[in-house]
Structure 1
């Protein structure tokens, strides 16, 4: 018998409580299923009960437990709503209170996620992502590879926007310039992309050399130009509920009266002011996923909703592919990143894949117009 995986008498009450919760989701400990948890440190049980979701993630980062298929584990955890049954630590409660009192995505704080996540290193994202470095959900309809699925997503966006040569396109949260390059080279658009990441700006400018593309290091609240089309892909998750009205008012200010706006965002099934506390602490500081209600309230009186497309199941496929690439490329990355970072990043990718697979997380593409398109639009799928 392995003493490291056998809780002491003092730990028995902790382990019994956790095991009862896990059994309701079909999850075992030190079992043979790929989603079972293999416990290496008996303190795991107490830590999860005391620290909740944060303790679960931190103990994995520290090697206290393993799981062959983290994605399958989290699908089961989410489907059983176990996170609602585990007490949260005081610091998590206080952070929720703070989110209700403060604007976590103010002008001053908006740059934090760029510095702490998107500026991690282009080497990491170059290995993990496709050639255009699309760090958002791919579109897997009728394709088989990540490269094909990301190009299909970019083409879908341009077709939904009815983009034509010479049109001025604003890309809010342009990332590493993949969409800007695609829209300019394939559709002949004149593109302005804005980002809050210096690393993204540098690479995006190199990617778009020779094209009618301008990449700015700029907060969306400082925009004043006028555009025929506006797009925002994977950025709205960093805007925050206190700023949703400002965001859509800014888009309305800069878009022409006969323009179109496409918003591509992860969505939540319920309105909230924060995200998974482990994700907020280690991956996306100050992030928050919008609900349908929050988006509808903030666009009321500003836009007509022309189309609302949900293909969240495709994010599961995208995240699993990113994790495969990250894992395969780790030998090239490990000199620049710690073993704890490796465990953290795999945990992030696969836990999110589980959330999308359980349909707890959504991916929406929403097409909006200022006054409604005469006769309506026929949106491609």
Structure 2
């Protein structure tokens, strides 16, 4: 099937609110594995609890049985079912084995073949996620994110608000990198420039940020105006030069297992002999070439979550692992804060999108929150030093 309609399709018109037919009960022909999953997770279709989904369209069952996670997400976008506590519904599914049921055997085979034959994150394909996701519009992201425009996990250890958690995360990264005035910092996948702005303002660094999103680049250049920071629309694999420190926050999920070694080779080539590099990435508990079909089609095309083993294998030839920090449950809280912002400020941008986009975005945020709560996926910060570095390292928390 084709990928999600481009932004112009989302913004073409608003669809009227769908009328809700009578609840559709669970059919007897539903695969036993799916029925058992619902029983283990204590989920009752059309039940009265917040995590019980309300199914409005009988076509929902065949779509889920055939297309699994893809069908579940697409039918939600189409208004075929609703759930008051969508994040808890997903959490319960994943805790009780939903990951194993998220793909049919045919989908598993197709993904394996695709990964084996195609580099989905090649230089030619890499910009797709920037155009489809990060270029959606700064009108959306400025309303959903905090003032730092951080689109990655906040650090809630001592924070009581999204802005405080994101500022704490930025400062934690700077402290882990042991930044000092005059150092050069390369930010691979710099987003809207929040980290470089913080590091230049509070730590006196000179920075270069690279991104493949024109929307992000324009915003970052404007916010870093007057600071010793340059923003470039460049793929990290084509960079030259040398930097005292290198950081990547929320970008490694777009690198892909066929390019993990390429990424670390590039970082090693660009990093000073006594430098440090920090990698902030979502990760999965098991090494795999698979990906969630709905997320891949509608949110992050060609994305792939790494495992601890894959990162270690790709980095060990050139780097020493100095520190590894997991605070994945903080991401669930971050995603809920984004969802709250998105819901509250939706009326400000609703005319530019449509109802299906609204449901798609809320499904994305809540599914990811549920996955982090279930500990199905993690958030790691790794600190590496090149094998040539002789100084000892003491990490910050």
TM above 0.5, yes or no, is yes
Asked if the contact 1:118/1:199 (under 8 Å) is kept, the reply is yes
1:216 to partner: Cα distance: 0.3
- CA RMSD of the aligned region, Å? 1.7
In the superposition, the TM-score normalised over structure 1's length comes to 0.96
Conserved 8 A contact 1:50-1:89 = no
Q: CA deviation at 1:272?
A: 1.5
CA drift of 1:207 comes to: 0.5
Distance 2:235 2:48 in 1: 50
Aligned to 2:352: 336
Structure 1 position 5 matched with structure 2 position 23: yes
Hey, what's the Cα distance between the residues in 2 that align with 1:296 and 1:82? 27
Q: What number of residue pairs does the alignment pair up?
A: 378
**1:53 and 1:83 in contact (8 A); partners too:** no
Q: Give the direction of change, closer, same or farther, for the CA distance of 1:242–1:40 in structure 2 (3 Å limit).
A: same
**Contact 1:61 1:344 survives alignment (8 Å):** yes
Q: Take 1:84 and 1:225, find their aligned partners in 2: how far apart are those partners? A: 45
Q: 1:3 to 1:103 in 2, by over 3 A?
A: closer
2:79 pairs with 1:44:
no
Deviation string 1:159-195 (CA, Å, 9 cap, x unpaired) is: 0000000000000000000001111111100000000
Change (3 A) 1:340 1:93: farther
1:85: Cα distance to partner?
Answer: 3.1
Q: Which residue does 1:360 correspond to in 2?
A: 376
Range with bigger deviation, 87-96 or 313-322? 87-96
- 1 CA distance for matches of 2:32 and 2:384? 51
Q: Distance in 2 between matches of 1:6 and 1:187?
A: 58
Where relative contact order (Cα < 8 A, 6+ residues apart) is larger, the structure is: 2
Alignment deviations for residues 290-330 of structure 1 (CA, whole Å, 9 cap, x no partner)? 11111111111201111001111100110010000011111
Selected match of 2:362 from 339, 346, 356: 346
Q: Structure 2 CA distance, aligned partners of 1:6 and 1:274?
A: 32
Distance in 2 between residues matched to 1:339 and 1:92, nearest whole Å:
31
Residue 119 (str. 1) matches residue 135 (str. 2):
yes
Partner of 2:123: 107
Deviates more, 1:17-26 or 1:300-309: 17-26
With normalisation by structure 2, the TM-score equals 0.92
In structure 2, the partner of 1:295 is 311
Q: Measured at CA, do residues 256 and 28 of structure 1 come closer, stay the same or move farther in structure 2, by a change above 3 Å?
A: same
C-alpha distance in structure 2 between counterparts of 1:141 and 1:87, whole Å: 35
Given candidates 168, 172, 177, the residue that maps to 1:152 is: 168
Q: Which moved more, 1:191-200 or 1:11-20?
A: 11-20
Q: Write the distance in 2 (CA, Å) between the matches of 1:274 and 1:13.
A: 28
In 2, are the aligned partners of 1:260 and 1:370 still within 8 Å (CA)?
yes
Partner of 1:77: 93
Deviation of residue 3 (structure 1)? Answer: 7.0
Q: Deviations over 1:142-171 (max 9, x none)?
A: 110000000000000000000000000000
